[in-house]
Amino acid sequence: MSSTPVAGTSRGDPRLSLAGRRRVRGVAGLVVGVGGFLLVWTLLSELIFGEFTLPPPLEIGQLMWEIVRSGEFIHHFVPTILRLAYGFGLALLIGFPVGYLMGTSRWWRAFFHDMVMVAGSIPGITYAVLALVLFGISILGPVLSVGLISMPYVAINVAEGLDSVDRRLVQMSDAYGRRRPTIVRNVLIPSVAPFAFAGVRLSFALAWKVEQLTEVFGSSSGVGFQIRHEFEDFSIPGMLAWVLLFIVFMILLERFVLAKLERFLFRWRLEDRP
């Protein structure tokens, strides 16, 4: 036991290098993967399809750079992201009470069951065109679509989160004469918030696709609007440049911002996270 520190370092070292090696391998895989993908794309474009049908990645890369440099990117990105954020806010606002009702009452669970279960399988075009009919060209369409798409995920997660609330904490608050609103604010909401957020994250991929479609159909700004604009100009490179920029941005947002936020919200339950 006296040699603990030495044993510790000698045991620690290979593990560290193993993690390091794994990370190097991950990055190498990414580089090789993306490089191979771009190479195959270039070859297909040069040899088989032709530059008009499938523009080479270099051309699209230049266009993407141009879009970012000219400030157009920010100009159309900010509204799209804001609508997404409002939509998620709406989903949380409605999903919380709905999830609470579903988690605490059998009747309300049955009441919301069908709505919650079908929302995800409804084709996106339904949301897009109905929003256009109801609201015209307006911010309400994309926001409501995102809200409706991700509300069920939030609600179901909140309902599940309620099961995880520490009963003893609630009983104790009761015993010390805390009133219901106080318990809800100080015990229930903090316990359930991370679950609600996990619902948002689950619905993220689906929600932004539907939002884009809504923008394609009825919007005067945003990435979806820009995609439609390029389509009407018959510009394949322009369309691909916009959608690829958006996808890259969304994947980064999902991986880094949302994943970190979720870990932050769940930090008090570290034992659940591997």
Total interface residues for other proteins by CB under 8 A: 63
Contact 99, 154 (CB under 8 A): yes
CA distances, 160 to each of 98, 102, 103, 151, 154 (Å): 12, 9, 7, 14, 10
Nearest CB to other proteins, comparing residues 132 and 187: 132
Q: Does 18 bind other proteins (CB under 8 A)?
A: no
Radius of gyration of the chain (CA): 24
Please identify, among the stretches 3-11, 82-90, 172-180, 242-250, the one whose residues bind other proteins according to the rule CB under 8 A.
242-250
- Per DSSP, helices labelled H in 70-188 are 72-104, 106-118, 124-135, 140-163, 167-175, 180-183
Contact flag: residue 206 with other proteins (CB under 8 A): yes
One-letter identity of residue 50:
G
Identify whether the C-beta of residue 129 lies closer than 8 Å to the C-beta of residue 217: yes
CA atoms of 164 and 34, how far apart (whole Å): 42
Q: What is the DSSP letter of 187?
A: I
In the region spanning residues 149 to 188, those forming contacts with other proteins, defined by CB under 8 A, are 152-153, 156-157, 159-160, 163
The answer to whether the CB of 187 falls within 8 A of the CB of 165 is yes
19 contacts other proteins (rule: CB under 8 A): no
DSSP 138: S
Q: Which of 94, 129, 137, 183 lies at the binding interface for other proteins (CB under 8 A)?
A: 129
Selected binder of other proteins within 7, 43, 78, 125 (CB under 8 A): 125
243-to-62, 97, 152 alpha-carbon distances in Å = 14, 35, 27
Among 75, 52, 66, CA closest to 225 = 75
Give kind and range of the element (H or E) at residue 74: helix 72-104
Residue 189 touching other proteins (CB under 8 A) = no
For other proteins, which stretch binds (CB under 8 A), given 16-24, 63-71, 85-93, 228-236? 228-236
Q: Does 250 bind other proteins (CB under 8 A)?
A: yes
Q: Quick one: which of 84, 32, 88, 41 has its CA closest to 61?
A: 41
Stretch that binds other proteins, among 33-41, 86-94, 174-182, 266-274 (CB under 8 A): 33-41
* Binding residue (CB under 8 A) for other proteins from 74, 93, 122, 252: 122
Q: Does the footprint of other proteins cover residue 34 (CB under 8 A)? A: yes
Question: Shortest distance, CB of residue 125 to other proteins, whole angstroms?
Answer: 5
In the range 55-94, which residues lie near other proteins by CB under 8 A? none
Under the binding rule (CB under 8 A), the answer on residue 225 touching other proteins is no
Q: Which of 15, 48, 121, 176 binds other proteins (CB under 8 A)?
A: 121
**Residue 10 touching other proteins (CB under 8 A):** no
Burial-class residue 203 by CB neighbours within 10 Å (0-12, 13-18, 19+).
buried
**Interface with other proteins (CB under 8 A):** 28-30, 32-34, 36-37, 53, 106-126, 129-130, 133-135, 152-153, 156-157, 159-160, 163, 202-206, 209, 212-213, 216, 224, 227, 231, 234, 236, 239-240, 243, 247, 250-251, 254
